[in-house]
Structure 1
Amino acid sequence: MTANPLYAASDEILGLAENWLDQRRTAALATVVGTWGSSPRPVGSHLLVDDAGDMMGSVSGGCIEGAVVEEAKQAMKDGKPRLLEFGVTNEDAWEVGLACGGTVRVYVEKLVADQ
């Protein structure tokens, strides 16, 4: 595992997701799918979350992580994917701490093990 699990490589995060699913753990994956302007993490960055609160990766370096984790928890419960957008024009952006001046779009989905 990487020295800093916040900035783990995609293959490490996806490998851990596979392990969690093999263990029948409930998990969700958040992926940065778009950015505009200043953004702390590039497109393709991942945050993996399980229902026990374990995490690996980052979609923002911390500024929107809390909001994304809450949406991941909801996705694990209802199975519905979400497309989130955070930016300085979004009133919620300041509440979650996104003050970098850009926009970040994050896709959140519940992971399902092969049957």
Structure 2
Amino acid sequence: MISTDTDILATAEAWAKAGRGVALATVVETWGSAPRPVGSHLVIDGEGNFLGSVSGGCVEGAVVAEAGDVIAEGKPRTLEFGVADETAWQVGLSCGGRIKVYVEPVRA
């Protein structure tokens, strides 16, 4: 079962208040066939625990890895995944579309 946005955002807030490093990933743009719609969220902590989904599994691992850097640096970044990109196949994006994911640090 996919968690609701309310669950994901509440978890992000709770983890941050508990002193964990936290990042929030949000799908901000899609084109063609995309597994999750714009507005989908994934919250990640500094140890790699996560809740939610931004890709239905096809790029989640890459987003979790990038979130670790966002937490460490404290600076947001935008990630792009598409079937035309060489990296798309490395992370498993074979659905034929493109997605853009904004990853930002969460502070208590």
Q: TM-score, normalised by structure 2?
A: 0.97
- Which residues of 2 match residues 1-115 of structure 1 at below 5 A? 4=1, 7-113=2-108
Inter-partner Cα distance in structure 1 for 2:99 and 2:67: 16
- 1:13-66, Cα deviation, whole Å (9 max, x unpaired): 001111111111110010000000000000000110001221100100111001
In structure 2, runs of 5+ residues without a counterpart are none
- Counterpart Cα distance in 2 of 1:90 and 1:82: 18
Letter in 2 for 1:12: D
Gaps of 5+ in 1: none
Cα distance per residue 1:61-96 (max 9 Å; x no partner): 111001101110000001111101100111100110
TM-score (norm 1): 0.91
Share of identical aligned residues, percent?
58
Q: CA RMSD in A?
A: 0.7
- Which whole-Å CA distance do the structure 2 matches of 1:13 and 1:49 have between them? 10
Tell me the amino acid that sits aligned with residue 84 of structure 2.
T
**Distance in 2 between the 1:52 and 1:84 partners?**
20
Runs of 4+ in 1 over 3 A off after TM superposition: none
